[in-house]
């Protein structure tokens, strides 16, 4: 049996979303079956998957080990994979995920995921590996896996308390009017597309800090820091403010947006656009106080090839991105403005 008390971070989340977030090693269908079987209780009463959680509610999961281990469809098959390990100790492993790699098995992706590779990498580990957070399939960068349940719970609480700093690098179309700022707009599920997210008055509180590192000819290089961890948060916030992530066709960053730029801007913007075959978003760093050692730990994910090509076009190097090694988005130098018209 496992018990969780709902805090302010998980309040207003649907039960099925909450379960999927916290138990990524279990298929969504298996978790839904556990709800139907009455194995998941809220304040002592069998729950419904659509239940909206409230702060202080007690969620009890009976037979968690059996839920994790039962049924072939929920077993993670260890698969050998060339993982770029950035950090590893006895409790955590942090990987630089390439774009195009799904993080965990699900509908349409029964295997070949990051979690399959981590199960192979940790095949001699006594505990069950569990992802602490997630990244979209086509977002590259730093992602953390706990090697056991205790490590997962401790780090999950840090994420919930916003004690883990998550920094992203993105390239967007257009230029934010301010060198740095805050996007604070609630995000909810789209009523038209169940996968897509949108800004809604009844959505969940969502905050993204940003700092402009570079601008030229309709293209901006942006440092983002998440205070909340909503699905597609940076992509939605960027689109909402009118500066969609480059090559993100799902949220308005398609080639047609590049074509709408002023004629003198299009050549450079299109060159940068052609470097990407996915949204130009990279999870650059994680910074946290290690829950076991108390040491300040910062892990920075090297740039993938497409980002390397893009910043070379901007005449920048990774040394210009040192802002990611701090816990704030204070810009240590003036943004490089090459087209200030």
Q: For residue 245, which phi and psi values (nearest 5 degrees)?
A: -65, 135
Contact 53, 18 (CB under 8 A): yes
| Structure tokens, 13 | 């989340």
Beta-sheet pairing, 336-337 with 296-300: unpaired
What's the rounded mean pLDDT across residues 278-290? Answer: 95
- Quick: pLDDT tens for 300-318: 999 999 999 999 999 998 7
DSSP-derived letter for residue 13 is -
Which residue of the set 16, 39, 136, 138 is catalytic? 136
- Classified as helix, coil or strand, 322 is helix
User: Strand, coil or helix: what is 222?
Assistant: strand
- Per mean pLDDT, which range of 165-169, 222-226, 332-336 is the poorest? 332-336
Rounded mean pLDDT of the chain? 86
Quote the CA–CA distance of 215 and 220 in Å, as a whole number.
4
The span from the first CA to the last CA of the chain, in angstroms, equals 62
- The predicted structure's pLDDT at residue 322: 66
pTM: 0.78
The whole-number average pLDDT for the span 199-214 is 91
Question: Is 136 marked active-site?
Answer: yes
The helix-helix angle for 305-313 and 263-273 (nearest 10°) equals 150
Q: Which residue has the tokens 């995920």?
A: 97
- How far apart are the C-alpha atoms of 250 and 62, rounded to whole Å? 39
pLDDT value at residue 247: 97
Residue 118: per-residue pLDDT: 97
Place of tokens 């706990």: 146
Q: How confident is the model at residue 290 (pLDDT cuts 50, 70, 90)?
A: very high
Instruction: Indicate whether 63 pLDDT > 80.
Output: no
Span 267-290, average pLDDT: 96
Which sign does the torsion angle of CA 331, 136, 232, 47 carry?
negative
Q: Check pLDDT > 70 for residue 332.
A: no
More confident residue, 210 or 335: 210
Residue 326: pLDDT above 70?
no
Which domains does the chain possess?
Answer: 1-74 (3.10.290.10), 76-159 (3.30.2350.10), 165-337 (3.30.2350.10)
Lowest pLDDT segment from 5-9, 70-74, 263-267: 70-74
Name 17's Cβ contacts closer than 8 Å, sequence gap at least 6.
none
**pLDDT for the residue 194:** 74
Mean of the pLDDT values across residues 214-227? 94
Closest CA to 208 of 191, 193, 228: 228
> Phi and psi for 307 in degrees, rounded to 5?
-70, -35
* CA distances (Å), origin 138, targets 70, 98, 115, 135, 150: 30, 8, 16, 8, 30
Token digits of residue 269 = 């913007």
Does residue 271 have a pLDDT over 80?
A: yes
Per DSSP, the three-state class of 337 is strand
Helix (H, G, I), strand (E, B) or coil at 109: strand
């Amino acid at each position: 049996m496992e018990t969780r008390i709902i805090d302010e971070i998980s309040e207003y989340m649907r039960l099925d979303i909450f379960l999927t977030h916290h138990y990524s090693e279990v298929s969504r269908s298996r978790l839904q079956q556990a709800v139907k079987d009455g194995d998941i209780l809220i304040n002592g009463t069998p729950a419904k998957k659509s239940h909206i959680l409230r702060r202080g509610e007690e969620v009890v999961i009976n037979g968690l080990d059996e839920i994790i281990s039962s049924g072939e469809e929920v077993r993670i098959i260890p698969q050998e994979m060339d993982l770029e390990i950035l950090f590893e100790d006895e409790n955590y492993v942090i990987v630089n995920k390439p774009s195009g790699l799904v993080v965990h098995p699900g509908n349409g992706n029964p295997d070949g995921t990051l979690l399959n590779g981590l199960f192979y990498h940790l095949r001699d580990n006594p505990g069950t590996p569990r992802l602490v957070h997630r990244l979209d399939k086509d977002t590259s960068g730093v992602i953390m896996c706990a090697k056991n349940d205790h490590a997962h719970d401790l780090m999950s609480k840090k994420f919930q308390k916003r004690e883990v700093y998550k920094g992203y690098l993105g390239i967007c179309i257009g230029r934010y009017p301010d060198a740095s700022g805050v996007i604070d707009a609630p995000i909810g599920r789209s009523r038209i597309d169940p996968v897509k997210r949108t800004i809604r008055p009844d959505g969940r509180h969502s905050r993204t800090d940003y700092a402009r590192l570079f601008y030229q000819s309709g293209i901006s290089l942006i440092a983002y820091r998440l205070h909340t961890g909503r699905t597609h948060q940076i992509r939605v916030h960027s689109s909402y403010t009118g500066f969609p992530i480059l090559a993100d066709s799902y949220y308005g960053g398609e080639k047609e947006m590049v074509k709408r730029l002023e004629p003198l801007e299009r050549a450079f913007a299109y060159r940068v656009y052609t470097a990407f075959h996915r949204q130009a978003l990279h999870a650059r760093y994680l910074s946290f106080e290690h829950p076991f050692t108390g040491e300040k730990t910062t892990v920075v994910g090297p740039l993938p090839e497409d980002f390397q090509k893009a910043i070379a076009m901007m005449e920048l190097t990774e040394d210009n991105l040192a802002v990611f090694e701090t816990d704030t988005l204070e810009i240590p130098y003036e943004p490089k403005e090459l087209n200030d018209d």
